[in-house]
Structure 1
Amino acid sequence: MAPELLAPLDLAFWNIESSGHPLHMGGLFVFDADTPNAARRAAGLLVARAARIPGLNTRIRPVLFPFGSAARRVDPDFDPSDHVHLAEPVRDFHTAAGVLMQQPLERERPPWAAHVLPGADGTSFAVLFTFHHAHADGMRAASYVLSLLDPITVDAVPASSDAPRRRETGSVLRLPDPRKLPDLVRGAVTDAGRAVSISSAMARAAWGVRSSPALTSRATGSRRADGAVVGLREVNRIREATGGTVNDILLAVVAGGLRRWLDKRGDGSDGVQPRALVPVSLRDPADPGASGNRLSGYLARLPVDEPEPLARLRAVREVMERNKQAGPADGPGAAALLADAIPPLGHRFGGGLIARSGRLFYDLLISSVPLRGADGLRLAGSPVREAYPLAPLAPGQALAVGITTYEDRVCYGLLADAVAVPDLDVLARSIAEEADELVAVCGT
């Protein structure tokens, strides 16, 4: 396999990480254990399967040209057992996941890991899968996980999208062809023009925004994880009563959960409208396994200050509809596409500045990771009970929310700075309470 240059967005993710602010995503899968040694058996299977999955054996290394860039290369010393770790029994999977999420992945090896966590009760175990954001986006990480679990019939092709195709920026490492110089110049001009447009939209979106101290506290690099489960049947009842999309409802539940949480902790929710960055996949449906990131995003002000649940849902629906009409390529949420306009040396030496600028543009990340067609997941014969996506925290961010639907439930995975958000469990309960209230309101 020839070395593959990192696309600009992948390079940005690689360079903005620091030892105090790791930038990897996670997926916490909870299993019912059929035997006391189920976790050990699962760890052995993960090691055996990882050796056969393309991409898991590639590491990221700097290159001489283009200056400041990096490339994926096959690690000649790849040993899957270096990446699969069997822990001692734990009492709380979320607590253990939070501790593990604050530990950076080893940059000298392929940047992923699987932590097998036996349950102290002997009736369950969990696996925390972690992937560096330079190595994979959420959908690519999900495809890795599905490949590591027991074989099932999976619809691996994502649903088609009206989102415009992003110009491909990753490539096999080679010197530039002088005959393509005009095309390269035109591409650079296009990227610069898009950067101006996106930056202007982001500046307008930031005007007059009031967030909460809980979301703007100084980040420390520590991590805390938690989760909430909402019945998919109840979500569908809300959609039947109110119309719109399931995604609008899931975002409105987050907005209502934040309101409840802020009021409980005494911060108050009056006037609070935090900006949520909602990633949008630009992944080609015909190539779901392509390496790296294929992302843009929508930026939505969450109506946390709205006291009435259905009014919050309508407000979320309206702002998401405006985002969809504008498209993911030029709106204020398309911050990821700004990476194309920065040369590799800019990413290499300006990573810290880029990292610190994130909190100027959005207050929290809400990422939806589909497990489409993947019901009935198992590992070593043990069935998956819950699946919590853990979105990465950028430097300066205190909270990230991941959402996935699995079988008959919606799982909210919460990752927060442990110092800025010591009461993450209260937010998890507030999200579940908000879903219950929306069901009750729709029932009347």
Structure 2
Amino acid sequence: MNGRKKVAFYTLGCKLNFSETSTIARGFKDEGFDRVDFFETADIYVINTCSVTENADKRFKTIVKQAQKSNPEAFVAAVGCYAQLKPQELADVDGVDLVLGATEKFKITDYINDLSKNDFGEVHSCDIDDADFYVGSYSIGDRTRAFLKVQDGCDYKCTYCTIPLARGISRSDTMDNVIKNAKEISEKDIKEIVLTGVNIGDYGKGEFGNKRHEHTFLDLVTELDKVEGIERLRISSIEPNLLKNETIELVSQSRAFVPHFHIPLQSGSNDILKKMKRRYMRELYVDRVAKIREIMPNACIGVDVIVGFPGETDERFLETYNFLSDLDISYLHVFTYSERDNTEAAKMDGVVPKNVRSKRSKMLRGLSVKKRRAFYESQIGTQRQVLFESENKEGYIHGFTENYVKVKSPWNPHLVNTIHDVELTKIDDDGIVRFDLINQEAV
């Protein structure tokens, strides 16, 4: 691997994947590679795959073709969840040279002796039970915020989910290493850290495969709040049964944690929640939202919901729709259920036709638009702090308030990666909020 070879990355799926791609990329840099954009000519293309939805599976072939179009002689490697679940399927895709599973992906440079094309895809994939160690990750340099991985794997047995099969048991980083990574990020002038993992509320479980609980999620956020130089900390997705009152209260009084929660619901029907083997009923979800609203009335609350799960009759779907309509939440992430191999749900009766799934998804996406609009309207006239992004989008700079209201203003490079006090003034035609700067100096 002499000379300055070029490597490019494409990441499918979640924030956790983005953090791991960045860690893998740093490994390549240490080996003397220069990172380039995925749509540029590179010597090796690494695709970090996702297995959560059917669509992510299908997109893989398209991305491989794009890599081959950029450089037909390039070496193409696949890593990530789909690579762990169906390694041979990926290896059989024309143009793929290397497929690495859950334990191998962080050692990718060890598997690349030269960059000549293989006659067939070479697979190195462990039994997922061997994925019992932890590799810390964070993304940096791509944006004004960093995704910091604190936990991996999951011990839950949700009947629709392949993540435990793709990532193994729940295990956590050490507190010391998370704090060390947070300090490294703070030294690079990144203003915001988003905590990520598969099931971050389970933090403290299984440090390096050990089931002792050295620290809890509350311990973690308490210590992170003390790290100097980080202006904002944001919790990504956290299960409602693991979002404790103490954590909500800490966020409300915190120096850096922002009033934004993303809490998976998946269904507003208790019957469906039972079939999904979720660890709560809808009543607990109502209680969590009420607790947040009680002490942080302006908090942003996002919701994950799955439509078209087996057994979701019209009545049960309407139960979910009405439940969400009545709930004081801010937006929805809507997922259309798709059958995944080796899951309980794939064998269940009561399959919902795909056209019905699509119709229900459209209804909930429409509800999400209404919810977000109502939330934004409730914020007009308030004073907030905005962290501005680095991208010039059609002559505008965008940013987010601490409670996740998206704002825009004519492009001004001096605002990039700065935090300013603003007053929210109106909602533009595209649904994004305009503002007045309260002062020109960054906070």
**TM above 0.5, one fold?**
no
TM-score (norm 1): 0.26
| More RCO (CA 8 Å, sep 6+) | 1
